[in-house]
């Protein structure tokens, strides 16, 4: 099963195709199916860079949010189903200096 398919299964997530980041706020990891989200794959051939990628993405998010408030005012964006998941159009985000 593709990683994207797992994330979009209605049996794993209500309104699976909608962008609801709050869905990840459940208090216990056991509230989610173990394979509901496997962006780095699973098993012997899973991504070797997972720890590095997660660390870099966390640091990037922290550094950006320390410096800027982000705003988005440009309507819904949908995912494409191509080789990699990406937005169906350019995303315009306004970076507002926190200082």
Handedness of CA 68, 74, 79, 83 (dihedral sign): negative
Number of residues near ligand HEM (by CB under 6 A):
12
Residue 66 known to bind ligand: no
- Residue 59 interacts with ligand HEM (CB under 6 A)? no
Both tokens of 79, joined, read 């995912």
- Residue 3 interacts with ligand HEM (CB under 6 A)? yes
- Residue 39 interacts with ligand HEM (CB under 6 A)? yes
- Residue 41 interacts with ligand HEM (CB under 6 A)? yes
């Amino acid at each position: 099963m593709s990683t994207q398919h797992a994330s979009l299964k209605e049996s794993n997530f209500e309104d699976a195709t909608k962008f609801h980041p709050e869905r990840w706020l459940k208090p216990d990891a056991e509230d989610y199916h173990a394979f509901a989200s496997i962006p780095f794959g699973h098993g012997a051939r899973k991504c070797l860079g997972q720890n590095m990628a997660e660390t870099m993405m966390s640091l990037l998010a922290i550094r950006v949010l320390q410096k800027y408030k982000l705003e988005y005012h440009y309507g819904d964006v949908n995912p494409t189903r191509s080789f990699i998941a990406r937005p169906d159009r350019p995303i315009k985000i306004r970076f507002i200096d926190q200082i």
